[in-house]
Structure 1
Amino acid sequence: MSESIKIDIWSDIACPWCYIGKRKFETGAAAFAEQAGANAPEVTIEYHSFELAPDTPVDFDGDEVEFLSTHKGMPAEQVRGLLDNVSSIAKATGLDYNYDILKHTNTVKAHQLLHYAKAHGKQLETKERLLKAYFTEGRHVGRIEDLADLAAEIGLDRDDVVRSLTADEYLGDVRADQAQGHEYGIQGVPFFVIDGKYGVSGAQEAAAFAQILDQVWMERQMEDEGATA
């Protein structure tokens, strides 16, 4: 098997397109692996922090329509139309968004949990759990105790998660991710950095992700051939 292809993804828990983009990337990566066959390189993923609305309160007293209409200055009917549209797109990727029970919140602690989980080998499981909790289950992902409950569900030490989040142990890592994203010029998420050299913005179709992975793999093979010629 060839050396792995590294995928760095900037995203936010409260970003509906990030969950959709995650699913589309996973589908594209699976299609690439199937097409490439036994010699396909491993695709490794690391998530990085991006806050869409860092000024959001931890406990927002209202629903998603109220948040977007009051904080973003959008008419309520326009917001409902946008949410219906994104929910339909999510449904097509196998995701059930439930904005009626969604609890809008600040996500900085959730990002810290993702860094904690990375240090304990469970970042990918944690990312999936947080997104599902937020968009589908109406769970709170901004408070330490609630995040610790979710972390415990995937095998992380609940008490140690509380300790880490209370101490802001990984806040510096969150800020470092954000600074790197700024250096890359990332202004919206999801944003995918493929193999350290290709940037892909937005929830692209699965076929587009499969194509760029294939392109990177072919470039790798050509480099290897050139090195041995």
Structure 2
Amino acid sequence: MTTTRQNADPTSTSASSTGPGPIRVDVWSDIACPWCYIGKRKFESAVAETGIPVEIEYHAFELAPDLPEEFEGSERDYLEIRGYSDDEVEPLLARIVGAAKTVGLDFDYAVLRHTNMLKGHQLIHWAKTEGRQLDMVERILAAHFEQGRHVGRDQDLADLAAEIGLDREKALAALEGGRYVDEVQADEARARQLGIQSVPYYVFENAYGVPGAQDAATFAGILRQLAEEKREAAR
């Protein structure tokens, strides 16, 4: 695992660099990325294990921005678009499903429906304005990977928002108006500035970049180290 020093984000509202408080964690993620969901569970385990408070914000990263909203192909078709050969597909899926099971997730590629994720990322941004971003991220990922729900259409996404207690009509209006396209694009521009080329990607305290779905123990070690640094800085 490689930790990369990142340039600080001058627009950050985190006060973590100036005193005690939760550890700031910015996560670049795509709804279509299985390792992003697996990594989410591993990171959550690390937080639960350490008891260290964190402040998490998710940022958009589209792995397949050219995919249509109504993609008619199978998982094999999608992976071929992503550059995998026939011989690679089955071992890859077996590895992903196995890794998901180790963190309590039940991926179902027989029913999974690929789609363009731009609108899903917009919904996550809207949910952030409602104080429910993390809940929305979890709901969309579960709907996509475990339940075979369509996560690229306005009506279906509004349904998911309602399922976590948000106002369906407000969600629908935000999606139909493309209100958060600029925010999604800003996330992706920031990713390019940071040199992020794959997800998940974690930036701790606006300074340290960690790629990939690391083991919970690795995440826990990072959190403990940063928490100690914050305590030292506060003395």
Q: TM-score range by the shorter chain?
A: over 0.9
Please state if 1:56 is matched with 2:67: yes
Partner of 2:115: 105
Residue of structure 2 in register with 1:209 after alignment: 219
- The structure with the largest helix share of the pair is 1
Shift of 1:73: 4.0
Q: TM-score if structure 2 supplies the norm length?
A: 0.90
Q: Is 1:193–2:216 an aligned residue pair?
A: no
Per-residue deviation at 1:216?
0.6
Which residue does the alignment assign to 1:37?
Answer: none
RMSD value over aligned CA atoms?
1.2
Match of 1:12 in 2: 30
Q: How does 1:92-171 map to 2 (within 5 A)?
A: 92-171=102-181
**Runs of at least 5 residues in structure 1 that lack an aligned partner in the other structure:** 34-39
Cα distance in 1 for partners of 2:56, 2:166 equals 20
User: In the alignment, residue 49 of structure 2 is paired with which amino acid?
Assistant: A
Q: Indicate which of 57, 72, 77 corresponds to 1:66.
A: 77
Residue deviations 1:165-223, cap 9 Å, x none? 01110111001111111100000000000111111100000011111111111111111
Matched-pair contact (CA < 8 Å) for 2:20–2:234: no
Secondary structure of the corresponding residue to residue 101 of structure 2: helix
| Structure 2 match to 1:28 | 46
Is the alpha carbon distance of 1:181 and 1:103 closer, same or farther for their aligned partners in structure 2, counting shifts above 3 Å?
A: same
Amino acid at match of 2:115: T
Tell me how far 1:78 sits from its aligned partner.
1.6
Distance 1:64 1:195 in 2: 36
**Contact 2:31–2:120 at 8 Å: present in 1 too?**
yes
Paired residue for 1:47?
58
Spell out, residue by residue over 1:50-88, the C-alpha distance to the aligned partner (whole angstroms, 9 max, x if none): 00010111111121112212x134323421220111100
Q: Determine which structure has greater relative contact order: mean sequence separation of CA pairs < 8 Å that are 6+ residues apart, divided by chain length.
A: 2
Aligned to 2:21: 3
Task: State the Cα distance separating 1:31 from its structure 2 match.
Answer: 1.1
For 2:209, what is the secondary structure of its paired residue? strand
Alpha-carbon shift at residue 44 of structure 1 (Å): 1.2
Gaps of 5+ in 2: 1-18
CA contact 1:133–1:141 (8 Å) conserved in 2:
yes
The farther-off stretch of 130-139 and 216-225 is 216-225
Give the match's secondary structure for 2:196.
coil
Q: Distance in 1 between matches of 2:32 and 2:158?
A: 18
Indicate whether 1:221 and 2:223 are aligned: no
How many residue pairs get aligned? The number is 217
TM-aligned CA distance change 1:214 to 1:146, over 3 Å: same
Q: 1:203 to 1:73 in 2, by over 3 A?
A: closer
Seq. identity, %: 51
